[in-house]
Structure 1
Amino acid sequence: MRALFVGGVVDNSELDLEGEVPPLHYPADGGGGRPRYRLHQIGRQDGAVAYAVYGAPELPAEQIRQVAEERAYARRFEAEPQDVES
């Protein structure tokens, strides 16, 4: 699955994630006192997670959702987007 980032220093970056379930925070063991990116949306394709959208802590959920729509992640991965509640 692909991890996609909105906001912060890695805005519009991507990386591959191992496993079937994305972690709630990225990096999962961030430490260092810095805020972690939080999972806001997943895209499922045939029941499996195709992508995970992580947002910077200073951004509101609505803005992250809007950016994900503008970047057309769901269409790109041919997946059904699903918001993740915190």
Structure 2
Amino acid sequence: MRALFVGGVVDNSEMDMEGSQPPVHYPEDTGGGHSRYRLHQIGKTSDGNVAYAVYGAPDMADEEVARIADERAYARRFEAEPSEFTH
């Protein structure tokens, strides 16, 4: 699964993630009270596997993250169906 980042200092960055389900925040637990990137969208392939997870910077609105993810065509790139992650 690929983690895709929108906004902040790592905007437009990607990384591989282990596991079948993405964590709600990245990094998962800093322990230092720092703001973390928040999961906004999950893209699943036709067989139900998670292909990608879109994380937005702490100060970004949900609508802005969704707009940028659509603009960057993550769903098409990974041949997956996007769905909004609800917290």
Q: TM-score range by the shorter chain?
A: over 0.9
Give ranges in structure 1 of 5+ residues lacking alignment.
Answer: none
5+ unaligned residues in a row in structure 2: which ranges?
none
- RMSD (Å), alpha carbons: 0.6
Shift of 1:63: 0.2
What TM-score results when the alignment is normalised by the length of structure 2? 0.96
The number of residue pairs the alignment matches comes to 86
Alignment partner, residue 10 of structure 2: 10
Q: State the identity as a percent.
A: 69
Deviations 1:14-70 (A, max 9, x none): 000000000000000123222000000000002000000000010000000000000
Q: 2:67 matched to 1:70?
A: no
Provide the rounded CA distance (Å) in 1 between the counterparts of 2:32 and 2:14. 22
SS of 2:66's equivalent?
Answer: helix
The TM-score normalised by the length of structure 1 is 0.97
Question: Matched residues in 1 for 2:36 and 2:57: separation?
Answer: 7
Give every structure 1 segment of 4 or more consecutive aligned residues whose post-TM-superposition deviation is greater than 3 Å: none
